[in-house]
Amino acid sequence: MKESKKELKEKQAIKEKLEKEYKAKIKEYALTNVSSLIYDSDLIKKDILIAHHKFDEFINALKQKKKPAIISGVNPDGPLHLGHAVIFKELIELQKQGADVFIPISNDESYITKKSNSLFEAREIALKDVIPSLIALGFEPQKTFIHIDSDYTDIYNLAIYLSTKLTLNRVKGVFGFNELSTPGSFFYLGSVQEAHILLPQIKEFGGPRITTVPVGFDQHPQILLSRFIAKKANMVPPGELIFNFLPSLKDPEGKMSKSKPETAIFLTDSPEEAERKLKRAYTGGLKSGADQKILGGVPEICPIFLIQKYHFLSLKETKDLEKKCKSGKILCGDCKKQCIEFTKKFLKEHHEKREKAKKQIDKFLIKEKIDIKNL
Ligand code: SF4
């Protein structure tokens, strides 16, 4: 029992550390807590969406049918995983309420950062894995604007235009480049990424409008740069949404990562593969089941709990599971079984939808040309 108490204390300390870090970041970046928002969302009630900048204006624009836009890019160095799916499911909700959704797919970034061997390889992953999954999640073609950078080369004209609003020093200050950084990464982060974020505001897509970008804390500096450029280009500075991330299956302080397959459930994983990974996943429980029955677990840092909370359970069901875990009424073996069942069912259905989605890709790709006369 002494060992179990120590183990529980260590897990609770991780939870407290993460909560403290989140609060400190919200304060440091002058973001607003979501509790003040008048927006009925389970994501807020479940503490998945935790902070924002000007999301209230985005909600007002939705109510006034002003078609705000939301931008969420994908680096196609591998298939999407359950962590990405949390954000895309929320985008679909906002789309149902009237938002346009822009999804730039940056195979140039994959190549520049050496996560892919070539532009072509990353483009293949985008077409074979990423876009079918996005469509299968439920986006509407009329309100979804997907492009792959190397195919939609007009994006580079917009990037060149936006690069004139910046100095080398400002971009260096945000991203901290050093003498080994490549000119490509400089152009990508300083200009192409900004072109992705500001694309919905150019004339061809209706001109300046309210936009928001879901990001992690680490991407906040990029959005600050977007706001700076937007003002200079007579566009509306973008807002941002901060999501609590879905942790790695191996480490409560790490994220699911495409480069470490054992940390994530990919939307392309077979149900059996997902089962194998979940069986081996870290939990917020204790080594001794007998002691866990008395002391309970720490669901807040448990990927098995969080996958269920983020993807499969209602608010009430989430609270029930949390209570059962903390009181030791459920143990990790049974809890994992439940999570495996949910995940396998989801993946089976998702794979069927992905097959149909492969024939619909063209309906979702941007066709509008960017007229350089307008830049
Ligand atoms: Fe996680 Fe479930 Fe174990 Fe609680 S009982 S620690 S929620 S796996």
CA–CA distances in Å: residue 2 to residues 6, 282, 301, 308: 6, 21, 21, 30
| Number of neighbours of residue 90 by Cβ within 10 angstroms | 20
Structure tokens at 360: 């619909």
Confidence of residue 113 (pLDDT cuts 50, 70, 90): confident
Cα 325 to middle of ligand 1, angstroms: 6
Confidence of residue 190 (pLDDT cuts 50, 70, 90): confident
To test the pocket of ligand 1, the residue of 14, 330, 334 to mutate (highest count of ligand atoms within 8 Å of its CB) is 330
DSSP code per residue over 273-317: HHHHHHHT---SS-S-HHHHHHH---GGG-HHHHHIIIII--HHH
Topology of the domain comprising 30-246: Rossmann fold (3.40.50)
Cα 40 to middle of ligand 1, angstroms: 28
Q: Residue 181 above 90 pLDDT?
A: no
Confidence of residue 339 (pLDDT cuts 50, 70, 90): very high
Cα 278 to middle of ligand 1, angstroms: 12
Ligand 1 contact via 296 beta carbon (within 6 Å): no
Ligand 1 contact via 283 beta carbon (within 6 Å): yes
To test the pocket of ligand 1, the residue of 332, 334, 338, 340 to mutate (highest count of ligand atoms within 8 Å of its CB) is 332
Structure tokens at 205: 């897509």
Instruction: Please state, in angstroms and rounded to a whole number, the distance separating the CA atoms of residues 133 and 268.
Output: 8
Looking at ligand 1, which residue's alpha carbon is closest to its atom 8? 332
**SS3 for 56-105, per residue?**
HHHHHHHHCCCCCEEECCECCCCCCEHHHHHHHHHHHHHHHCCCEEEEEE
Cα dihedral: 183, 113, 166, 26 (round 10): -150
Looking at ligand 1, which residue's alpha carbon is closest to its atom 4? 325
For the whole model, what pTM was predicted? 0.93
Average pLDDT estimate for 37-54 = 86
Instruction: Please state, in angstroms and rounded to a whole number, the distance separating the CA atoms of residues 356 and 277.
Output: 27
Cα 105 to middle of ligand 1, angstroms: 35
* pLDDT (0 to 100) of residue 33: 86
Query: Which atom of ligand 1 lies closest to the CA of 335?
Result: 2
The domains of the chain are located at 30-246
Residue 220 class from Cβ within 10 Å (0-12 exposed, 13-18 middle, 19+ buried)? Answer: buried
CA–CA distances in Å: residue 176 to residues 168, 184, 371: 11, 15, 33
Rg (CA), the chain: 21
Strands 211-215 and 239-243: parallel
Query: Which atom of ligand 1 lies closest to the CA of 332?
Result: 3
Ligand 1 contact via 305 beta carbon (within 6 Å): yes
Instruction: Please state, in angstroms and rounded to a whole number, the distance separating the CA atoms of residues 188 and 114.
Output: 13
Residue 364 class from Cβ within 10 Å (0-12 exposed, 13-18 middle, 19+ buried)? Answer: buried
To test the pocket of ligand 1, the residue of 292, 325, 338 to mutate (highest count of ligand atoms within 8 Å of its CB) is 325
Instruction: Please state, in angstroms and rounded to a whole number, the distance separating the CA atoms of residues 364 and 306.
Output: 31
Q: Residue 170 above 90 pLDDT?
A: no
Tens digit of pLDDT for each residue in 119-155? 999 999 999 999 999 999 999 999 999 999 999 999 9
Instruction: Please state, in angstroms and rounded to a whole number, the distance separating the CA atoms of residues 152 and 370.
Output: 10
Lowest mean pLDDT among 19-28, 98-107, 142-151, 303-312: 19-28
